[in-house]
Amino acid sequence: SYVLSQPPSVSVAPGKTARITCGGNNIGSESVHWYQQRPGQAPVLVIHSDSDRPSGIPERFSGSNSGNTATLIIGRVEAGDEADYYCQVWDSRSDQSVFGGGTKLTVL
């Protein structure tokens, strides 16, 4: 099955830009979606289809996807962005969803 790899943790200072990567074989040919999960809460969709923001998600959140790496980019990071972030793709060949292992974003 398809495997997605994320770094376990990323740290960033307030006001700076955070980049969280999601690696997969030729992931650039897949549509990648990103979720934010705060402790004790359900995940929330922050980016879908590589780079589209759902309504209500700040413009500071953006995404890119090319080659073997998709990236979630959070600009002007705030303390409230501290959370776990997961990438996800839908494997249409097996009708299954695949999640990355998750990345804990720490705001210094």
Binding residues for other proteins (CB under 8 A): 30-31, 33, 35, 37, 42-45, 48-49, 54, 84, 86, 88-90, 92, 94-102
Residue 37 structure tokens: 């999960």
Residue closest to 12 by CA, chosen among 64, 69, 83:
83
Q: Provide the token pair at 95.
A: 């009708």
The CA radius of gyration of the chain, in Å to the nearest whole number, is 13
Taking the complex as a whole, the smallest distance from the CB of residue 30 to other proteins amounts, in Å, to 7
Q: Strand, helix or coil at 81?
A: helix
Smallest distance from other proteins to CB 82, Å? 17
Nearer to other proteins, 5 or 69 (CB): 5
Nearer residue to other proteins within complex by CB, 87 or 107? 87
User: How many C-beta neighbours within 10 Å does residue 65 have?
Assistant: 23
Q: Decide whether 16 or 38 has the Cβ nearer to other proteins.
A: 38
